[in-house]
Chain A
Amino acid sequence: QVRLQESGPGLVKPSQTLSLSCTVFGGSIRNDDYYWSWIRQHPGKGLEWIGYIFYSGTVNYSPSLENRISISVDRSANQFSLKMRSVTAADTAVYFCARVRTVWSGSGSYSRVAHFDSWGQGILVTVSS
């Protein structure tokens, strides 16, 4: 049973960079059937997809955040990370990391990200001076 665990500072100052890591336990991040994703939830609000990464380094970001974020992978540590630049109070949220199951085409020539089947516990990040 895979388990994901977020880590990082719970408090970030405005205009600084938010940095979070997600460690994957009980399974390898090197798996062709999964991508690895970040999702956030503002206090009292809904879920917002941030982006995902494949173990090879292929990434895809939410258009609304792509100019401020980067997601990277450390295969040796079985981790992936999120960096978000120039944060403001509007970035205060619970940040979840999650595993994304892919669905392969009938020919097996390509896959698409499909659903989040395992989640970390989430980490509250507050942006405040």
Chain B
Amino acid sequence: QSALTQPASVSGSPGQSITISCTGTSSDIGSYNLVSWYQQHPGKVPKLLIYEVNKRPSEVSNRFSASKSGNTASLTISGVRAEDEADYYCCSYGGGSTLVFGGGTKLTVL
């Protein structure tokens, strides 16, 4: 069971849109619509942003959206703001009823 692959870092200027990719395999992302995304600010607890590929909890801003194609999931942040600067993690259900995280992506708002 290998970690999902995310870019180590992405950056964007305020107001821009950024996309973070999360690549797995046919045994996890490719087989199940059970991808979730989490935001973690330094020293804080991870926060659920997206579940079941593209569903958003009611308290999460609609600037956050997500999708999946094949073995790759993507998180898009529209109109990036300074407060969006954080680490982002994807997670997927995988073979053997396991769960696997991505390595995390650090978003820098320029």
Tell me if A74 is interfacial: C-beta within 8 Å of chain B.
no
Given contacts A103-B52, A114-B51, A115-B36, contact A49 B45 (CB under 8 A): no
- CB neighbours (8 Å) of B104 from chain A are 45-47
Interface digits, A22-48 against B, CB 8 Å rule (1 contact, 0 not)? 000000000000000100000001111
A121 and B97 form a contact (CB under 8 A): no
Complex: chain B residue closest to A121, CB-CB: B45
B91 and A116 form a contact (CB under 8 A): yes
The total of interchain contacts (Cβ-Cβ below 8 angstroms) comes to 70
Cα distance A49–B48 in the bound complex, in angstroms: 15
Cα distance A63–B97 in the bound complex, in angstroms: 11
Tell me the A32-90 residues at the B interface (CB within 8 Å).
37, 45-49, 52, 60, 62-64
Chain B interface residue number, banded: 20 to 34
B96 and A60 form a contact (CB under 8 A): yes
A97 CB to closest chain B CB, in angstroms?
A: 11
Interface digits, B19-38 against A, CB 8 Å rule (1 contact, 0 not)? 00000000000001010101
For A122, give its contact among B32, B38, B45, B48 (CB under 8 Å): B45
Complex: chain B residue closest to A96, CB-CB: B45
